[in-house]
A and B are shown apart, each in its own frame.
Chain A
Amino acid sequence: MSDAPQRDLPPVVERRHIAGSDAPFFALLGTLGGSYLLLIVLLIVADIAYTSPAHFIEAWEKPEIQAAVRLTLVTCTISALLSVLIGTPLGYLLARFKFRGRWLIDTIIDVPIVLPPLVIGLSLLILFHVPLGDTTLEKWVQQYLGLRITYAQPAVVLAQFAVACAFAVQTMRVTFDQIDPRAEQVALTLGCRRSQAFCRVVLPQAWRGIIAALTIAWARSLGEFGPILVFAGATRMRTEVLSTTVFLELSTGKLEAAVAVSLIMVVAAMAVLGFVRSLGARVN
């Protein structure tokens, strides 16, 4: 020890440092993520345990359920395709251009996401039947397009589309936000019109987003129940989709059949989403 007077020395940073294990971090990630995964698996297992193969086959063999499966697959696919068709240009406009009133468009598009779907169904019903002079939108469409909407199959698609499209728009908007606009600008200097730059440079980069939007819109459409019940009704063999089948079976006390149909929905959803995702993987 020296006798030199003690001076205030700056604290020395200990150089020896051991970061420690990453295991607790991954354990936490695994536990939190796994708990949700477990919940979903338990839900499906509980459904399977509740019903029996006999119930499942019995439900599957009913012609009205087969009709509902067909109508569900067709309407969900149409509304998902329509959603992407509308969501792509709208998402692109919102992502790329700053214009007056954009916040208003943003807010309007969020309405179907925020509102209870049942309200959308009710609003559709009102829209088609509110008097417009001496006619209604329903009558006008029937007269000029020869199409019945309310309580008919087009109402199923419209009810699904009204909600699903908002999700497709948001997905496409995020997709275009993430695509660097520089390549598009260079395409303009190379002689492209905006439409050519969009189709040749932007759209090929947006495939992953389009697949995601298609998946989300399809899944939303499959889950739609309230607006379909209000706007399309639940007429067996006509406007009944799987979500309304579950409701109809449940309301008549056939819990086993409701669960069996739910499982059909799970299988259908997984098959379609798996197919769409594999399509996306191949495109990428």
Chain B
Amino acid sequence: MIALESLHIRAGSFSLSDVSFTVPSGAYAVLMGGTGQGKTTILEAICGLRSIASGRVLLDGVDVTRRKPADRAVGYLPQDLALFPTMTVRGHLEFALRIRRQAPGVIRERVAELAHVLGIEPLLERRIQGLSGGEAQRVALGRALSFRPRVLLLDEPLTALDEKTRDRLCELLRSIQRMTGLTTLHITHTRAEARMLADKLFVLDAGRIVERPLSDLTDAPAAASIG
């Protein structure tokens, strides 16, 4: 579960106040809203990368508001992916497990499992330079999932991809979520993407987060007001 309670976030001259919403355990929530509304800021606040002026962030019922990013067990896939330029694909998948001092056998097994699920087995020894957009997304997703996080946060993960790759990754995201039951919060601009993925739909508009019925994604007049 992801629960934000009256969150007040300040980032330079930008601020968001009284942000509250709950993503129930195991749900795939999609957050939509226009550019510059602060969707990314909200995800960063959940990760612990933005300081919170007031309010609480609860993950699976645990108050993590004052915890460091490292101690929140959040799988985060930023919009720019932020892959590690000096590492191989395998290095990315192993990274969080090595930090957690997992046994080599455990790491090997987990990397093999992730690479299989994500379909990136042939890429394991490659460096990230020269990966295609879809491949890079899979690597970033694998890195975020590797340590079995409590929740998964995806910041417009499919925006820069062509339609075919996007559809394939949508299916992959959905199947991984079904398989793991991982509570997921996914930011997107694209209604088609939201239609394919969302169990729950939230819209950020003028600093307020409102839950909307999924039918809004297909209903044309209502859809027009969603990001």
Contacts and interface: CB of A to CB of B under 8 A. Distances in A.
27 contacts: A182-B80, A183-B82, A183-B84, A183-B85, A185-B69, A185-B82, A186-B76, A188-B48, A188-B49, A188-B68, A189-B48, A189-B72, A190-B70, A190-B96, A190-B143, A190-B144, A190-B147, A191-B70, A191-B96, A191-B100, A192-B70, A200-B95, A201-B84, A201-B86, A204-B86, A205-B85, A205-B86
Contacts of A189: 47-49, 69-70, 72, 74-76
A61 interface: no
Contacts, number: 58
Interface string A187-221: 11111110010001100110000000000000000
A19 B141 CA distance: 47
Nearest to A184: B82
Contacts of B82: 180, 182-183, 185-186
Pick from B72, B85, B146 the residue with the most CB of A within 10 Å: B85
Q: How would you classify the secondary structure of chain A's contact residues: helix, strand, loop or mixed?
A: helix
A169 B133 CA distance: 36
State which size class the interface on A falls in: 10 to 19
Contacts of B143: 186, 190
Contact of A193 (B48, B49, B70): B70
Interface string B67-102: 011101011101010111111000000011001100
Contacts of A200: 95
Contacts of B48: 188-189
10 nearest interchain CB pairs? A182-B82, A204-B86, A190-B96, A188-B69, A191-B99, A189-B76, A183-B82, A186-B82, A189-B69, A191-B70
A160 B142 CA distance: 48
Given A189-B47, A189-B49, A201-B84, 20 more contacts: A180-B80, A182-B78, A185-B47, A185-B49, A185-B69, A186-B78, A186-B82, A188-B48, A188-B49, A189-B74, A190-B70, A190-B144, A190-B146, A191-B70, A191-B96, A192-B70, A196-B99, A201-B86, A204-B86, A204-B87
Nearest to A196: B99
Contacts of B87: 204
Interface in B133-158: 143-144, 146-147
Nearest to A190: B96
Contacts of B78: 182, 185-186
Interface string A10-35: 00000000000000000000000000
Nearest to B80: A182
Nearest to B86: A204
Contacts of A188: 48-49, 68-70
A183 to B, nearest CB: 4
A183 B84 CA distance: 6
A191 B147 contact: yes
Contacts of A196: 99
A193 B70 CA distance: 7
A274 B49 CA distance: 42
A180 B86 CA distance: 13
